[in-house]
Each structure stands twice: as C-alpha cells, then as structure tokens.
Amino acid sequence: MPPVLVLPKVMPRRPTGVIIGSTSDEHASWSPTPVPLHARGIERIRSECEFDPDAAMRPLAAWWSPLVEQRLRVLPGGAYAYSTVVSEGPASTIGLVQDLVTVTNTLAIRAAPLVAGADLPPSFSTYLSNVTATTPTTLEVRREYLRSRFSAALADARSEEFDFGAESHFAQRIAGLVLQHGGEALGTFEATITESRMPLTVLGELFRTLGRIRGATTHDERRAVLLRFLAAPDIRVRHVAATGLAELDDPAAIPALRNALTAERSERLRSHLRLVLDQLQATNVALRHR
Amino acid sequence: MSHFVIGSLKSENWYTEADFDWLPAGGVIADCLKDLKPDGGILSVYEVEETASDDLVRRIVAAIAAGANNPRDVAYFRFPRAAVEALQVTINPDEPGRTGDDEVNALHRDLQQLSATKLAELAGAMAHGTLGRFTAKTLRERIKAEVEARRLALEKVSRKLRDELGLG
C-alpha cells in the first residue's frame, strides 16, 4: 500500500515539483483509477486548495504530451497531478506516482489516487521539496518516455517489411516523434542506436526518414546525427548515413562527405559517397542560381 | 552476348568479399536476398545488348520505379546473360513488362524455375556485375524527364508521385 498524502490548506498556485500531464497519447484511453476517485480528487482539490485543476489542465486540450512543462519535475514516489480527457471533458486529480510504464504507444503513469488518510507527510510543499531534490527531472522522464516510444517502434519495425516505394509505418512513427518532440527525440534515437544493435534494414529506414522529414526546426540536428554516423565503424552504417544525407539534400554536408570520401577504403562505399556528393553539389549550384 | 538488368535494390545490401573478408571469393552478404523477392520461382529482369548505353539501363530502372508511390534511392545491376545460362536458369522472353515504357517492356524477361540455391547463386553473379544507383532525388528527376520526353506513360506513374513531380 503506497503512502498517501493530504494536501495543505493552501497549495501554491504553481506547486514546485508537481507535473501535469495526460496519461495517454490518445487523450485518455487509460485510466489508473476508477472515475469516481478522479471526481473525488478534483472535488477535494477545489475545496481545499487554491490550486485550480481546470486551469492547470487546460493546456492539455491543445497538447497531448504527457509531460507538459519542462521546468517542473515528475515525482516517482511523489505527488503527481494527472489528467484524463474523457468524453465529458478533462478530469484531473493528484496522485502518488508509483512508476511509469509503456503500454503500446501509451505512457501509462501508475498512480495511487488522492485519498485522505493517515501516515502522511506533514506538509505537502515540504514533502515536494524533499522529493524533488532526489527524483529525476522531467527531462529525464521525457527521455525515458521517448526511449519507450522509440523502442516500441523499433520492436514493431523488426517485423515490418520495408517495400520499395511504400512509406513504412515505422517511418511515419519516427517522423511523428521528431515533429512532436524535436531534437529531444533525435537525442534519444542516437543514444538507442549507439547502445543497442539495430538491424541494418531498420537503421536504413530510420536514416532515410530523418533525411526526408521536411521541417526546418530539426534540420541541423538531423544533419548532425547523420554526419556522426558517417564515421561509424560499420561500413553499412556509414552507407545508410550517407543515404540519409542524400535525402536531406543539404549542401552543408559537403565538407564532411568529402572528408569521408578521402578516408573511405571501400570502393563500393566510395562510389556511393561520390553519388551523394554529386547530388549535393548540384543542389548547391541550383541554390546559388536561384 | 547480352546483359540482364535488375532494379529496385538497396545498395547497402550488396557488399561483397571486397569489403567483408569472411566472405568467399564471389560471395555477397546474404542480406541481398531480401531485395530479390521472387514470386512463384520467377524473377523479373530486363535484357539489353552488351553495348547498350548506361542511359538505356537507367531508363529501365526509372520505368520500373515509376509505379511506386514513394520511390526511394535505388540500386541496380547489369550482369552478363552468360552467368544466368551457366546456372541453367530458364529464361522466358514471352511475358512483356508492365511499366509505362513500351520499349522497356519489350526487354522484359522472366527467370523461371528458380530454387533457393539457384537464387543465391544468381545473387552472387549479380553482385559481381556492374552496380549503378540513383538517389531518391535523382530517380524522381529521371522519372519526370522520361514522362516529359513521352517515353514513359503518365498514367503508369503513381498518382502520388505525379502530384509530387507536378506532372498533373
């Protein structure tokens, strides 16, 4: 039985250490507790605190990301305000985070609902301060979330056939993660690729997708990721990184490709690098004449 | 002696003993088999004269790719007919191709009655032929040029690709 806590009479309007988020990507297909407990939690928050759950939850209608504000902290083992958007509108409560798990594409936050009880910390805010000093930051949890999403996509990709000429489901998921989470998603991808042995077929699809995404926000970061793998020890990883750079079609990669060409010993890969280099040089000329 | 052309390959799957010292002479990494996708023991190739230009070969590869919604980078091999005959593979010239380029379709051949063993041997022969490639961008440009030159029928280009290339 996890400990439960009592809210203080006066709760900070923006309580340090409380993270506000949705329990699912799909706006609430999962709920950790029965609805009556949610309602009870909201009622209790409204009656006992200055904290306005409706105001806090409002951003969720526009953004489904489970972790909303980077500077707040999520508190495994601590307090956690969460929301589920059900047909009649957002419902919210505060609970105790027990752990974070991924169910298919959903980040499920297991939390004990807020209930009145004994064995409680004397002060909610003091309790939060203590917990925030010792628990992972939101950023770390976001990374864990992205790792889960990426791992799930990779697991599915292992059984997906990447047909010539068809956009894969994996590519769509990767593009979605990059568009929603930006450079943070790229950092997660890179760490996972480095730590795990990924099938080359999947890696090739990943790099092609990273090159193909049309969006200026992450353009430089995607180029940087591909360039780093251009120096990978595995010849075929270098190969698909170059393919990703061709998809990106950014002349800024020309110097690095030239260096790679100079260093490359495999004639077959050199031929591939020359092909990519030729394309980027042609793009460069076209851009200058525009 | 003529050559065969096979398209729709991923170039990263066709490294040979020149790059992997654990491969025997004439070997190719097994990943290449993922690209071949025979159907009923039949593999589609196109036959060109030994003296045929690389431009014709690239026209064939573009015609094959044009039906796809989302053509990506593609590799192709040109390899001698003699290598196929040496494997005693049946060559059927009677089934025309189904691309949007009639001249290309006339060059179509079915390599028939392929066993897994023969397919692997065939892959080895291909991998030591002449490798060519398109990036996704250059492939799209080539498909567009083929349509504009009226060699490739517009209706055989996928709708999505037509829109992307501004081909109406």
Over range A161-172, report the average pLDDT.
86
Q: Is B103 on the interface with A (CB under 8 A)?
A: no
**Which chain A residue has its CA at the smallest distance from B135's CA?**
A246
Q: Residues 24..63 of B with a Cβ closer than 8 Å to A: which?
A: 31, 34
Going by C-alpha positions, the residue among B95, B82, B93, B92 that lies closest to residue B50 is B82
Higher pLDDT among residues A166 and A131, named by residue: A166
User: Which residue is listed with tokens 């009656």?
Assistant: A47
3-state secondary structure at position A202: helix
* Alpha-carbon gap: B164 to the closest alpha carbon of chain A (Å): 14
Q: Is A249 on the interface with B (CB under 8 A)?
A: yes
Q: Is A236 on the interface with B (CB under 8 A)?
A: yes
Between A78-87, A207-216, A227-236, the lowest mean confidence (pLDDT) is in A78-87
B133 contact residues in A (CB cutoff 8 A): 271-272, 275
Between A8-17, A74-83, A203-212, the lowest mean confidence (pLDDT) is in A8-17
Q: Which of B6, B9, B11 is the best residue to mutate to test the A interface, defined by the most A CB atoms within 10 Å of its own CB?
A: B11
- pLDDT tens for A15-45 read 322 333 333 322 222 233 323 333 444 444 4
- pLDDT tens for A52-107 read 444 433 333 222 233 322 222 333 333 343 333 222 223 333 344 444 433 333 33
Q: What is the mean pLDDT of chain A?
A: 64
Report which residue type is found at B11: S
Q: Is B162 on the interface with A (CB under 8 A)?
A: no
- pLDDT tens for B53-78 read 999 999 999 999 998 888 899 999 99
DSSP type of residue A134:
T
pLDDT at A212 exceeding the cut of 60? yes
Count of other CB atoms within 10 angstroms of residue A61: 13
Report the pLDDT value the prediction gives residue B51, as an integer from 0 to 100: 96
Q: Residues 1..30 of B with a Cβ closer than 8 Å to A: which?
A: 8, 10-12, 14-16, 18-19
Q: Residues 95..114 of A with a Cβ closer than 8 Å to B: which?
A: none
A204 contact residues in B (CB cutoff 8 A): 10, 12
A200 contact residues in B (CB cutoff 8 A): 12, 31
**Which chain A residue has its CA at the smallest distance from B158's CA?**
A165
**Which chain B residue has its CA at the smallest distance from A239's CA?**
B12
* Alpha-carbon gap: A213 to the closest alpha carbon of chain B (Å): 13
Report the pLDDT value the prediction gives residue A91, as an integer from 0 to 100: 31
Report the pLDDT value the prediction gives residue A126, as an integer from 0 to 100: 44
CB contact under 8 A, B136 and A204: no
Residue A112 neighbours by CB under 8 Å, 6+ apart: A2, A4, A33, A95, A96, A98
Answer yes or no: are the C-beta atoms of A93 and A20 closer than 8 Å: no
* Alpha-carbon gap: A105 to the closest alpha carbon of chain B (Å): 26
* Alpha-carbon gap: A165 to the closest alpha carbon of chain B (Å): 4
pLDDT at A259 exceeding the cut of 60? yes
Of A165, A246, A276, the CB nearest to B68: A165
Confidence at A139, pLDDT banded by 50, 70, 90: low
Going by C-alpha positions, the residue among B136, B55, B11 that lies closest to residue A272 is B11
* Alpha-carbon gap: A246 to the closest alpha carbon of chain B (Å): 7
**CA A60 – CA A27 distance, rounded (Å):** 9
Report the pLDDT value the prediction gives residue A127, as an integer from 0 to 100: 40
pLDDT at A176 exceeding the cut of 60? yes
* Beta pairing partners, B4: B47, B79
DSSP type of residue B42:
B
pLDDT at A209 exceeding the cut of 60? yes
Answer yes or no: are the C-beta atoms of B101 and B152 closer than 8 Å: yes
Report the pLDDT value the prediction gives residue A214, as an integer from 0 to 100: 85
What are the residue ranges in chain B where pLDDT is below 70? none
